[in-house]
Amino acid sequence: MKPLLRWVLDSVLPPSCLVCAEPVEAEGQLCVNCFRRANFVTAPFCACCGVPLNISAPGGDASQLCRACESFRPAFTIARSALHYDDTARRMILPLKYGDQSEASAGLARLMRRPGENMLQAANLLVPVPLHAARLRQRRYNQAAVLAIALARLTGRPLGLDALYRQRRTRPLEGLGEQERRDELAGSIVMKQGMDVQGKRVLVIDDVMTTGATAHQCALALRAGGAARVDVLTVARVADPRLQ
């Protein structure tokens, strides 16, 4: 949208909820109903990949790993998400596809700050999960990059927008098992030449995490480039990828 038209509309229309049309006090907020409906990720979750665990351990065991991380430890250290990936989360993420929604991305960045507080503070570099150039031309916007920009703005952390790229296209991962996903993605994500991540703590940003296979590839590339540690922060998390 043209900036002037945007300005005129913004000054006429009251700000609306991230999900529905309900008016809210400021852009990027959730209305009371949508906030209630938002399904935030809470303990217990996997100490590594952050997937919500279907256990009700009294007192909670903060070092508990999910079955997937027990059998294969990913190259990232910790992954966390703000929300369960459900219909409300889907509707919140949707505006990012049209890239022009800076208020939506600012609102989502604020939601991500809660589970990502420590990781964001420790991060030397925020890096979005890359889209293949052909997909980017098709879609026009990389949702992960839109979020990384919003998080960098919110926290002042340095941004490595094109630190990673996809050197080949991969087929859709839906319906593939964990090992098949890793095989399909192997070597597909690499670091840009001349990018310096030596000794840095890198935080990889994405909209949705399913099994973490893509995040694992990003972490492999960054660790190979010398990153000291890689963590992952996403808006939403598919609750139990093995059931999808």
Q: Kindly list the residues in this chain that would bind Zn ion in the complex (CB under 5 A).
A: 17, 19-20, 22, 31, 34, 46, 48-49, 66, 69
Nearest approach in angstroms of CB 172 to Zn ion is: 23
Q: Which residue, 22 or 184, has its beta carbon nearer to Zn ion?
A: 22
- How far apart CA 212 and CA 234 sit, in angstroms, is 11
Q: Which whole-number Å values give the CA distances from 102 to 106, 111, 143, 160, 168, in the listed order? A: 6, 14, 11, 19, 29
- How far apart CA 202 and CA 219 sit, in angstroms, is 9
Q: Which whole-number Å values give the CA distances from 111 to 1, 11, 44, 147, 196, in the listed order? A: 25, 25, 19, 11, 29
Nearest approach in angstroms of CB 162 to Zn ion is: 29
Nearest approach in angstroms of CB 61 to Zn ion is: 13
Q: How many CA atoms lie within 13 Å of 145's alpha carbon, on the beta-carbon side?
A: 18
Give the torsion sign (CA, 123, 157, 34, 36): positive
Q: Which residue, 69 or 197, has its beta carbon nearer to Zn ion?
A: 69
Nearest approach in angstroms of CB 127 to Zn ion is: 21
Nearest approach in angstroms of CB 161 to Zn ion is: 28
Q: Which residue, 31 or 144, has its beta carbon nearer to Zn ion?
A: 31
Q: Which residue, 47 or 136, has its beta carbon nearer to Zn ion?
A: 47
Q: Which residue, 64 or 102, has its beta carbon nearer to Zn ion?
A: 64
Question: How many CB atoms neighbour CB 37 within 10 A?
Answer: 15
